[in-house]
Structure 1
């Protein structure tokens, strides 16, 4: 029965059916075969899946990111990135990575970061002679940093599922996200030397760097306000998302003056559409998770896995390999909602910190956003940059290997993730 249901799911995904619909059909099939199919119950479970105060942070973080992008923040952050690293070998590539890391502290969405940076820099990189596949792949990888560096929408979702601290998850993502960004910059330097990409001709200037920093200061303060407010106890993670949205509106409209009244309805509509998509996936995946739990599937998987090994490192490696495989076919939010209920009993029985596992899970699903055939960041970067998807997919392979290396480091050295959260305990 279970094999038939999951065969249906993977067949639906490979045929191009939306993930949420495929998840829903799989859940309905399992419920029907189990003799517990009840439309009223399905609706009730789906509603409960999104009925969470903490999940209110999702639409407000999305709105904050959209307002910051529309409010002229993109241009100011790009100017600062140019002033900071534009003179390095492969300057535009370095700028793309730094800009992605800065955006990561604003939106928490991989797709939004990829679209914003890609539309700004991929055309310029192509004009300067960069390999177009590399340009799109690098921007996609930079966008994947978005959910790792706080604020992070996937971390908010995991916090709801696992009942752990959002603040600790946010802190746990800082070092891995920054480290992955530095690895991408090093790779860009090697690529630039190999293909003799040009440097920017403008000389490095401390005065220009100071000027661009001053222009973007209000943007840099946004993640500081979010994290500072949460850690100091002034507001919760959900309340911080509202503060971020209001702050983005005030800065974009009344300070920078780039946010136009006529564009505001479209900004809100865009954030609402994105939120609806995420929430629908969470609702449907919650129903499927409930069905699986009622059939004792997570417990049986945990029993089988623990019978194979009780070594925490080996179990984490096996789980992460499985999640990497799923990431090739399923989007990040779906994996998060499906895997968490299955994996949490396992990691808790082994004494593994759920905050540590949550950050590992987010790292892994961000890596999945780079792997074909369902790598969302690949599609977005190729689309906004006008690059053939095949070229982008080829160029992403060495970057994926580097990302796997970063993930392995986090598995073998938990302090990379747990050092900052431990300061709160």
Structure 2
């Protein structure tokens, strides 16, 4: 057995073993990288340098700003306002509360950029509200967790920034624009499914609002939704870089929640900042160790070996993409989304580029695949959070999720084989 083969086994096998015995992800990446580097003769100091270099990106500074802005807007009551606005728009129809859930996730995804934050924030009061209106708790969880995937597609998405960094510095503005149509398409597919299920299962209709109440609610919600204009409009218009827009969005979030909505004070803002430190530390540690892990994957020629294995089956682009989609869905069920983006992008991006797939287009394919993984057992983070809110089992909820999985995979196939859905907006604004 060659030293390269042993190195690959040590790197990937060691990481999987450490994950299996519940070693934290950052430590699993770091330990397996150090052991592999020692075996193949790479100095440990060089591995440490690769870890530090993983943070040497001005774009990376956008991540903590986006995380803080999303948490402040969530804590500051923006999610309740978005739900009321969504209720005004679609709540009157049969099964309206499910439609409200999906539309609210569309709006909230444009502020938080996180599927799990969406489920924790909107789901904390919409899941119990749906149960009180006569919806099954499993159905309420299914609607909430699948619609929350829009949060990883509609800007600002932290996972898009991870992909841009792992891909060698793709333009964030183009990635943000590429996510809009796929994100809205996913929301539309889920809404159509909810309509069908509402008539089949005779879900209740919602409340009809007067135009004055509706206008007041829309104006109240628009203050928070202006965050999306700041982020995307600033980047596309050339006013801000991604990092600058994230910083401005954070300042705006603090201003709105403290001085406009008056739902937070200085002590609450400081508490959110303290609570965010743990998340930020975890993100930094994972990015550092995954940088070393990714370097060793390239050094051991794992991308070329995987490409050879795929090309042995076929070099047809549609078959290559189908094989990669299958691989991503399986891995998304087993591992965290952010880590997979950082590990898999350096491996898979050269393969898809060799068959003519645009890196921006592939980024959206990657995000949709791994977003489905957030809703699937055994490691689906959003699914676990949703089931804990509803106090229901993952097994019962998974059975209810089957038609939702079919809708999401249908959208994935459309996005995969119709590149214009992802590339139309970036091309237009370019």
Q: 2:271 aligns with which of 258, 266, 271?
A: 266
From 190, 193, 198, the equivalent of 1:192 is 198
- Say if 2:15 is the partner of 1:18: no
8 Å CA contact 2:87, 2:100 repeated in 1: yes
Map residues 21-170 of structure 1 onto 2, 5 A cutoff: 21-36=27-42, 38-162=43-167, 163-170=169-176
Report deviation, 1:307: 4.1
Residue by residue over 1:8-27, the C-alpha shift from the partner in whole angstroms, topping out at 9 and shown as x without a partner, is 43344344443333333332
Residue 227 of structure 1, CA deviation: 0.9
| SS of residue paired to 1:278 | helix
Comparing 188-197 and 250-259, the one that deviates more: 188-197
Alignment coverage as a number of residue pairs: 423
User: What's 2:393 paired with?
Assistant: 388
Shift of 1:244: 0.6
Change in Cα spacing, 1:279 to 1:262, as seen in structure 2 (3 Å) is same
Q: Deviations over 1:362-409 (max 9, x none)?
A: 111111111111101111111233222222232223212211111101
Are 1:226 and 2:226 matched, yes or no? no
What TM-score do the two structures reach when normalised by structure 1? 0.95
Check whether the contact 2:106–2:151 (CA below 8 A) recurs between aligned residues: yes
Q: Is the 8 A contact 1:59 1:272 kept in 2?
A: no
Please give the alpha-carbon distance, in whole angstroms, between the structure 2 residues aligned to 1:56 and 1:355: 21
Structure 1: gaps spanning 5 or more residues: none
The equivalences for 1:277-296 within 5 A come to 277-296=282-301
Residue in structure 2 matched with residue 247 of structure 1 by the alignment: 252
The match for 2:344 is 339
Contact 1:13 1:329 in 2 (8 A): no
Q: Distance in 2 between matches of 1:342 and 1:63?
A: 31
1:19-55 Cα offsets, whole Å, 9 max, x none, are 333333332343233233x432332211111221101
**Distance in 1 between the 2:343 and 2:407 partners?**
26
The Cα offsets for residues 82-108 of structure 1, whole Å up to 9 and x where unpaired, read as 111111111211111111111000011
Between 83-92 and 190-199, the greater mean CA deviation after superposition? 190-199
Cα RMSD of the aligned pairs, angstroms, is 1.7
How many angstroms does 1:221 deviate by? 1.3
Displacement of 1:349 after TM fit? 2.1
